[in-house]
């Protein structure tokens, strides 16, 4: 029987559990054995009890649970070859040669490094007498498939990452709550949202809540943003609006790449627009809680395809990452998706914002 391992890595994202559930059950459906690798790459490096067989009922109830029930971690050892050598040994000792990694671009990069090194790692395990030729013979190729679990929706070549719509929902709920007090007191609120270098959460939260102004890294404001902000806010006030909502991505910058912080915006609104202004940083509330319906659906459909993909992998084909483009689950080359994602940061640093926006696109 084929053995398929699944791990969650990097920052947790709502819907990861739904993906694990779908993978375990689809693996069983295909008469494979499913293994959960606990605590991300840490579990792969440490092995032992952190790599556990999973039965159908072990993932019961996973679909509606937030976070990741099999744990996640940032693992320094896996960044180094000796850690990955240890990981290869552990996988072989458990009889696993098919791995599904659910995580962000860092985790997927790690997965690809691991796959590329795999033949060399096997050679080293044999030459250092840790394993025999016979031990490694059935594990000549490591099949790897990626699933993108991240609230940031920062991976190129896919429309949505598992967790981003739950996070967006949480942000909208928070803005709605702030709205009532803002309207009552005629206040301005600056809401900082997550997303690291990606402005998707801020942009979509702005659209979904009817915010007055947003700051995102991919389409930075001009250096004169303070005047533009005051003019926009004052225009809205003149139209009878009793509240002001400004959403700022944590990676917000101006076109000269100067960082824009919530307190900078607060000072402008307080001192120049003369508004009673408060800052609300949502923080980890945006990551937590029950996954929304979309993330449960996405995680399940992508988990199902990940198992099919990992069984179809051949050494000559690049590892795929499971994406969604125009509402269809599809596969894209993992390395290319990660490389395109990294190019966004380069384009922003080069002040080529049009290119950055283009690179964020699915295709
Ligand atoms: P998030 O988007 O939530 O931060 P991520 O997957 O990008 O998720 P990272 O912290 O970048 O999170 O990566 C998670 C783990 O993946 C790292 O702790 C490390 O173990 C592994 N990893 C990342 N990059 C590499 C790499 N270049 N080589 C080997 N392993 C890596």
Write out pLDDT tens, residues 30-42: 999 999 999 999 9
* 88 vs 316, residue with greater confidence: 88
326 near 320, Cβ under 8 Å?
Answer: no
Q: 189: how many CB neighbours lie within 10 A of its CB? A: 25
Threshold 0.90, pTM exceeds: yes
pLDDT at 317: 87
pLDDT at 363: 59
**Complex prediction ipTM:** 0.93
In this structure, the residue with its CA closest to atom 9 of ligand 1 is: 106
Q: For residue range 270-282, list pLDDT tens digits in order.
A: 999 999 999 999 9
Q: For residue range 122-161, list pLDDT tens digits in order.
A: 999 999 999 999 999 999 989 999 999 999 999 999 999 9
pLDDT at 226: 95
CA-wise closest residue to 309 among 328, 338, 333: 333
> What is the distance in A from the centroid of ligand 1 to the CA of 42?
11
pLDDT at 59: 98
Using a pLDDT cut of 70, give the percent of the chain over it.
99
Q: For residue range 224-253, list pLDDT tens digits in order.
A: 999 999 999 999 999 999 999 999 999 999
In this structure, the residue with its CA closest to atom 11 of ligand 1 is: 106
- Across the chain, mean pLDDT equals 94
Q: For residue range 100-120, list pLDDT tens digits in order.
A: 999 998 999 999 999 999 999
304 annotated as belonging to a binding site for a ligand:
no
Give the mean pLDDT of 169-194: 94
Active-site residue 152, yes or no? yes
> What is the distance in A from the centroid of ligand 1 to the CA of 147?
13
**Ligand 1, from 44, 85, 105, 107: best to mutate by most atoms within 8 Å of Cβ?**
107
pLDDT at 288: 77
> What is the distance in A from the centroid of ligand 1 to the CA of 194?
18
**Ligand 1, from 84, 106, 335: best to mutate by most atoms within 8 Å of Cβ?**
106
250 annotated as belonging to a binding site for a ligand:
yes
**Hey, is 288 helix, strand or coil?**
coil
| 8 pLDDT above the threshold of 80 | yes
> What is the distance in A from the centroid of ligand 1 to the CA of 154?
14
pLDDT at 249: 96
CA dihedral 72, 159, 198, 193 (to 10 degrees): -70
pLDDT at 362: 57
CA dihedral 250, 255, 257, 258 (to 10 degrees): -70
């Amino acid at each position: 029987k084929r053995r398929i391992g699944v791990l969650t890595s990097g920052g947790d994202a709502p819907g990861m559990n739904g993906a694990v559930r779908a993978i375990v059950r689809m693996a069983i459906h295909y008469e494979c054995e499913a293994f959960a690798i606990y605590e991300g790459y840490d579990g792969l490096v440490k092995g032992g009890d952190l790599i556990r067989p999973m039965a159908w009922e072990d993932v019961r109830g996973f679909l509606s649970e937030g976070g990741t029930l099999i744990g996640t971690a940032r693992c320094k050892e896996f960044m180094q070859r000796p850690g990955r050598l240890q990981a290869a040994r552990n996988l072989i000792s458990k009889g696993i040669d098919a791995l599904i990694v659910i995580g962000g671009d860092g985790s997927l990069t790690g997965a690809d490094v691991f796959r590329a090194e795999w033949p060399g790692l096997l050679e080293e395990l044999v030459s250092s007498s840790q394993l025999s030729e016979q031990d490694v013979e059935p594990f000549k190729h490591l099949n790897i498939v990626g699933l993108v679990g991240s609230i940031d929706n920062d991976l190129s070549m896919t429309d949505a990452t598992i967790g981003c719509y739950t996070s967006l929902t949480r942000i909208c709920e928070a803005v709605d709550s702030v709205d009532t007090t803002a309207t009552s007191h005629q206040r301005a609120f600056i809401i900082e949202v997550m997303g690291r270098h990606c402005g998707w959460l801020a942009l979509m939260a702005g659209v979904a809540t009817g915010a007055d102004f947003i700051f995102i890294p991919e389409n930075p404001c001009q250096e004169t943003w303070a005047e533009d902000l005051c003019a926009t806010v004052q225009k809205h006030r003149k139209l009878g609006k009793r509240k002001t909502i400004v959403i700022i991505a944590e990676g917000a910058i101006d076109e000269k790449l100067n960082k824009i912080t919530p307190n900078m915006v607060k000072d402008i609104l307080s001192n120049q627009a003369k508004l009673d202004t408060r800052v609300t940083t949502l923080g980890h509330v945006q990551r937590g809680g029950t996954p929304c319906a979309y993330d449960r659906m996405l995680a399940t459909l992508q988990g199902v395809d990940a198992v099919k993909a990992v069984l179809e992998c051949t050494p000559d084909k690049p590892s795929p990452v499971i994406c969604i483009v125009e509402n269809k689950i599809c596969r894209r080359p993992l390395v290319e998706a990660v490389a395109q994602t990294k190019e966004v940061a380069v384009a922003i640093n080069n002040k080529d914002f049009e290119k950055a926006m283009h690179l964020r696109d699915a295709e």
